[in-house]
Amino acid sequence: MNVVLGLGLFIVGAIVGFFANRMLFSSAQETQKLATKASQSEAELARYKLDVTEHLANSANLLEQMNSTCQVAMAQMAQSTQLLQQVTPDNIENMPFFSKETQEQLAQTVNLRHDKKPRKHDETTSEPPLDYSGAPSGLFNDKKYSVTDAETNN
């Protein structure tokens, strides 16, 4: 009887221990899963912060480049305005419409277009072209025709 009682208590203890271990282990396993998710979330947050920091740094660089480009453009506009204000109606011919290089290219083009060969005088013809109709014909003939198919209602 002692052996049966000992064996029974051992089996009951094993069953209770099994369920207790399962419950404690499952909560520990859930805790471990949650800790893993939390560490992943923290890593993602750190990556996101780095991405945002990099984006803001790139945006600041782009804005700085835009600012410097605008400053250069404003300086060029001020210089152009100053040059235009210096030109008076007395010396307006000092400011050419085309640049020097363009004027040279235009002069070369004009020289190439106008050959120095004497032109042949065009012969004047006194005859009309072959497709010209001297007398009116067809639709343009001014003859009046009477209508022969007209019905008369009396």
Mean pLDDT for the chain overall: 81
Give the residue, 144 or 118, on which the prediction is more confident: 144
Instruction: Specify if 145 maps to a domain.
Output: no
Alpha-carbon distance 142 to 153, whole Å? 29
Place of tokens 């419950």: 23
Residue 142 counted as domain residue = no
- Please indicate, yes or no, if residue 109 is contained in any of the structural domains: no
pLDDT at 46: 96
* Interval 15-39 mean pLDDT: 85
Task: Check residues 122 and 87 and name the one with the higher pLDDT.
Answer: 87
Could you tell me if residue 140 is inside a domain?
no
Domain membership flag for residue 58: yes
140 pLDDT band (50/70/90 cuts)? Answer: low
Q: Is residue 1 within 8 Å of residue 8, measured between CB atoms? A: no
Any domain includes 3: yes
Separation of alpha carbons 85 and 78, rounded Å:
10
CA–chain centroid gap for 151, Å, is: 72
SS3 149: coil
pLDDT band (50, 70, 90) for residue 51: very high
Residue-number span of the structural domain to which 56 is assigned: 1-87
What is the tally of structural domains in the chain? 1
Residue 20 within any structural domain of the chain: yes
Distance of CA 153 to the CA centre of its chain: 75
- How many percent of the chain have pLDDT more than 70? 73
Asked, for residue 25, whether it belongs to a domain, the answer is: yes
